[in-house]
Structure 1
Amino acid sequence: MTGSDTDAVAIGIDFGTLSGRVVVASVADGRELASAEHVYRHGAIEERLPGTDERLPRSWALQSPDDWRDVLRHAVPEALAAAGVSADRVIGVATDFTACTVLPTTADGTPLSELDELAARPHAWPKLWKHHAAQPQADRINALAAERGETWLSRYGGKISSEWEFAKGLQVLEEDPEVYARADRWIEAADWIVWQLCGEETRNVCTAGYKGIYQDGKRPSSDYLAALNPGFADFCDKLDFPLSALGDRAGGLSAEAAAWTGLNEGTTVAIGNVDAHVTAASAKAVGPGQLVAIMGTSTCHVVNGEQLTEAPGMCGVVRDGITPGLWGYEAGQSGVGDIFAWFTRTAVPGEYVAEAAERGLSVHEYLTDLAAGQAVGEHGLVALDWQSGNRSVLVDHDLSGVIVGLTLATRPEEIYRALVEATAFGTRVIVETLVESGVPIDEFVAAGGLLKNKWLMQTYADVLRRPITVLTSEQGPALGSAIHAAVAAGAYPDIQAASEAMGKVERAAYTPDEARADAYDELYAIYAELHDHFGRGGSDALHKLHRIANEAGR
């Protein structure tokens, strides 16, 4: 970085599930000068379509594009004002998004949900990452690809997820063909928001590779797509656009976006990225063997490797997908913080809520205090963390949660502890699968909102039998985006250099306790037994229950 850049700042904008967060960071050392958050007015749309009385079917999750624009209109100016930074000091802006959050648009980028004649059609709205209603389409995509020997399938561990672009696109075609026909573009929100910022349509290599089945310079053939459904043969036409590398410049801020944000027209806008993958930069984990777990409502696991190998049940392995020049591996758990939130929202008795309030604690904090006082295994429970299905390694969103060992003496804090442990066990399955497949894991790095719970983090260290390095920034994705903005603006030669200068971590913040780790090995063996029984054909009970619930209209 040159001396003239010492006062320069970069802006990172992180578009999450329920809100957008903005960080203003020093380009010299990554100091976060200010941050701001804007909560989406519509949140995650899972029950009723806005402006209508139409109830959404089971497993649907949508978002509103104008909620995303509101982050630009409100959070960016707020963060700039809080930092006391003028627009002249901002050398670049970068964004990250949940993925696969994807939407149909016209050729000029107008979301179909914003056309009057389509606003009441659910399939015209953006589908949030946790929209899992395309599982039947994903099953057919996988079965046909396996039958035909499609070479790209092994790059995704043998299964494409219902969360991704092709399954969701096929669902639109088969359930609302008019909306499908009107969609000139099927675009990740990560790329759409960049289009809004600089007026230029771009596509990033990360979402294309992990969510859009782009491998070795091509996507699935039209012959294969036509075999799925004749009307699907043209799907890639809605996706195809030249791909740009992470850290590249997408363009300059448009006059309209400058008016929204209070920034200067022409300010560098970086190519879009995914929230999990961009966090590797803020966590100083852009080299091989450094696995980053971004732990929030869900958890995404990303790690670079120097060699290509194919691990079962992964979300994908993509060349340049995290750091240019390396193979990026992704895995994930569809529900983590969401599971804890569900439990506290639906299953905690009133006296617990009252006691927590009296002690000035949240329900989560109160349950954590009670759970932390127990010995490993004292509750006699093991749970499966599948309340939102299983992303890795089973890739099956028709699975559901299981709790084994309940008695009339079981207390809420014991169930809460079992749920936390289940998510740690799920992470251990992913780590062991990667290692057994030949992907070295030398360091486990944690990021995300769940780092605030120190007992939870110690539980993960004990279950994994590994030290855990933590990202010390509370806004990891947004800081990671700011790092990419600095690269796009030319302040650093590459992501590695910018990450080293601007990233924030504490190495080995948690280390495993050997006695607890030994005790967890025994519980993990039971988890693994249940995992394979319910997830790999020992019992089809969970799939049958899912079908019965759908048929009953839930």
Structure 2
Amino acid sequence: MKGTYAIGIDYGTESGRALLVDTKDGRVLASHVTPYPHGVIDKELPVGGVKLGTDWALQHPDDYLEVLRRSVPETLRLSGVSADEVVGIGIDFTACTILPVSPDNKPLCFDEAWKMRPHAYVKLWKHHAAQEDADRLNELALGRGETFLRRYGGSLSSEWLLPKVAQTLREDPDVFEAADRFVEAADWVVWAMTGTLARNSCAAGYKGTWHKAEGFPSRDYLKAADPRLESLAETKLRGDVIASGTKAGELTEEMARLTGLRPGIPVAAAIIDAHAAVPGVGVVAPGTMVLAMGTSLCHMLISSVEREVEGIRGVVEDGIVPGYFGYEAGQPAVGDMFAWFANQAVPGYVRDKAAEEGVSVFDYLGRGAAALAPGESGLMALDWWNGNRSVLADESLRGLIVGLGLHTKPEDVYRALLEATAFGTRRVIEAFERSGIEIASLSANGGIPQRNPLLMQIYADVTGKPVDIPAAEQSTALGSAMMGAVAAGSACGGYDTLAEAAARMGPPVKARYTPNEEHVRVYEELYEQYVALHDYFGRGADGVMHKLRKLKERAGKA
């Protein structure tokens, strides 16, 4: 008897992954990764040697097609599954990752006339060269009392759509004029697969300042930013916005030949990569906060109500699970902060001892940190090595460690850094709960939760909530595969709702960490000190962190 399978395609920063999943139980049959041939373009364009400025990060859209050319056929080969048995495809993507396209939806950088112009390429999510434009748009919105800012913690990020479009207009108005539309790379890939171009509600809402009832920011606001932007929403941002995970179209004959699949397979509207992890770990109802934990941490949850939440980075109806409001908050430094300490700050003897024992530096530090009781290190840290995303929404803030002494050991500092990220998450949780949105438990996914039981126990103890670790190594791609199954529908071997798909395809819980009541009591006291430092350096202290940053920038230019 034939089976029914779905493919989830996860487009990351450096590569794309295809995952082939059994729709009956979520079992992964095969996976394949394709590194992007052009990688992240941050020094010069791949043709002509055109140099890029500071904080630029571009990509080449053909790299996304290369994932379809290589990884999709390879997953079929590795799994032994027939193309006739694949019933649906879903994709997730980094965001905001946008590109300008011509009237026939061809990326401008594919055209000989534009391939030497940086603004004709894909602006990757971590393209930060639009900070000047973000600052100007934020100042204008605050001065005008624009209500859309409330849904984003009071400010737009330089990583988002409007600042990136505004930068294009300011620096290369010819490219702006030539662009028929600015679209998410995710939506462009769905168009390439189906011939239908629509905007997915997840990226449009979280990164494009779109609202289901209000649409994009008003013409008056856009005109005040630049008269040439007045009709932006109706022209270069036009197009239907459809809920992520719903059917966007069907695989074309051309794309079927390229991927080795059959034509007519339903393709789901795309979703942001981190947000795909919510259904990917089996969460499709309110009450559980999903922690997508890697170099940074994205906090996501769904609710039946829309509320203003302090420091929120986005609330979007149909943004994650259709029928619910999806919320996003975040901490921009978690795994990369731990990596900074291991790579830049531990003494040589730690590396030597770890090598002698045949373990990693992290394992060595973790063993020493686990031997400490809460509070025993005597240290407190602020987890702002890469700024603060929630709840202060201030990317210029930086990290801090208080309590260092002559007897402080590396494991003391490491534990303080672990605890700092947990305190930061608790601060985010409190912001939600003060707005009347209840959180009963946490679900943590990513490589770090799988490998660091000490950190997960600290999260349970600091937050006072149980933390589940799902048995899914690729939860984002699995969530996309679920959406592909929903796009197919029950009549074709899939499911009619995401809840049904998650119930059958969602992973079991691999481990559960419950709060240690004795530790909880100590962390209550420590958290009071964290909040005191958080508010002093984040809201007061005469802006000492901002002043230090400005002095550094001035010295760097001298």
Give the TM-score normalised by the residue count of structure 1. Answer: 0.92
> What is the aligned partner in structure 1 of residue 225 from structure 2?
228
Range with bigger deviation, 350-359 or 97-106: 350-359
Say if 1:313 and 1:94 are closer, same or farther in 2 by CA, change over 3 A: same
How far the C-alpha of 1:525 sits from its partner, in A, is 2.3
Say if 1:434 and 1:14 are closer, same or farther in 2 by CA, change over 3 A: same
Range with bigger deviation, 466-475 or 123-132: 123-132
How far the C-alpha of 1:156 sits from its partner, in A, is 2.3
Q: Return the alpha-carbon distance in structure 2 between the equivalents of residues 354 and 39 of structure 1.
A: 33
Question: CA offsets, 1:489-535, max 9 Å, x none?
Answer: 11211111111111113187111112222222333222222222222
Give 1:472's aligned amino acid. A
Q: Return the alpha-carbon distance in structure 1 between the equivalents of residues 473 and 266 of structure 2.
A: 25
> What is the aligned partner in structure 2 of residue 544 from structure 1?
547
Say if 1:171 and 1:341 are closer, same or farther in 2 by CA, change over 3 A: farther
> What is the aligned partner in structure 2 of residue 147 from structure 1?
143
> What is the aligned partner in structure 2 of residue 516 from structure 1?
519
Question: Secondary structure of the equivalent of 2:128?
Answer: coil
1:80 to 76, 91, 94: 76
> What is the aligned partner in structure 1 of residue 92 from structure 2?
96
Runs of at least 4 residues of structure 1 off by over 6 A? Answer: 52-55
Question: CA offsets, 1:322-362, max 9 Å, x none?
Answer: 22222221111222222223333333444433443443333
Question: Secondary structure of the equivalent of 2:140?
Answer: helix
**Runs (5+) with no aligned partner, structure 1:** none
Give 2:107's aligned amino acid. P
Question: Secondary structure of the equivalent of 2:300?
Answer: strand
How far the C-alpha of 1:386 sits from its partner, in A, is 2.2
> What is the aligned partner in structure 2 of residue 278 from structure 1?
276
Q: Return the alpha-carbon distance in structure 1 between the equivalents of residues 102 and 155 of structure 2.
A: 30
**Residues 458 and 512 of structure 1 are in contact (CA less than 8 Å); yes or no, is this contact kept in structure 2?**
yes
5 Å-filtered alignment, 1:104-183, equals 104-183=100-179
Question: Secondary structure of the equivalent of 1:378?
Answer: coil
1:388 to 383, 386, 389: 386
> What is the aligned partner in structure 2 of residue 62 from structure 1?
58
Question: Secondary structure of the equivalent of 1:540?
Answer: helix
Q: Return the alpha-carbon distance in structure 1 between the equivalents of residues 264 and 288 of structure 2.
A: 36
Question: Secondary structure of the equivalent of 1:85?
Answer: coil
Say if 1:342 and 1:80 are closer, same or farther in 2 by CA, change over 3 A: farther
Say if 1:486 and 1:229 are closer, same or farther in 2 by CA, change over 3 A: same
> What is the aligned partner in structure 2 of residue 372 from structure 1?
370
> What is the aligned partner in structure 2 of residue 253 from structure 1?
251
Give 2:413's aligned amino acid. I
5 Å-filtered alignment, 1:141-540, equals 141-215=137-211, 216-236=213-233, 237-452=235-450, 453-490=452-489, 491-506=494-509, 509-540=512-543
Say if 1:243 and 1:384 are closer, same or farther in 2 by CA, change over 3 A: same
Say if 1:378 and 1:47 are closer, same or farther in 2 by CA, change over 3 A: farther
**Residues 135 and 398 of structure 1 are in contact (CA less than 8 Å); yes or no, is this contact kept in structure 2?**
no
Range with bigger deviation, 354-363 or 383-392: 354-363
**Residues 27 and 502 of structure 1 are in contact (CA less than 8 Å); yes or no, is this contact kept in structure 2?**
yes
Q: Identity percentage over the alignment? A: 50
**Residues 469 and 505 of structure 1 are in contact (CA less than 8 Å); yes or no, is this contact kept in structure 2?**
no
Q: Return the alpha-carbon distance in structure 1 between the equivalents of residues 412 and 75 of structure 2.
A: 41
Say if 1:389 and 1:172 are closer, same or farther in 2 by CA, change over 3 A: farther
Give 2:272's aligned amino acid. V
Question: Secondary structure of the equivalent of 1:131?
Answer: coil
Q: Return the alpha-carbon distance in structure 1 between the equivalents of residues 45 and 460 of structure 2.
A: 41
Q: Return the alpha-carbon distance in structure 1 between the equivalents of residues 38 and 400 of structure 2.
A: 31
How far the C-alpha of 1:168 sits from its partner, in A, is 2.1
CA RMSD of aligned residues (A): 2.5
Give 2:61's aligned amino acid. P
Question: Secondary structure of the equivalent of 1:258?
Answer: helix
Question: Secondary structure of the equivalent of 2:59?
Answer: coil
Question: Secondary structure of the equivalent of 2:311?
Answer: coil
Range with bigger deviation, 114-123 or 328-337: 114-123
Q: Return the alpha-carbon distance in structure 2 between the equivalents of residues 457 and 72 of structure 1.
A: 36
Question: Secondary structure of the equivalent of 2:215?
Answer: coil
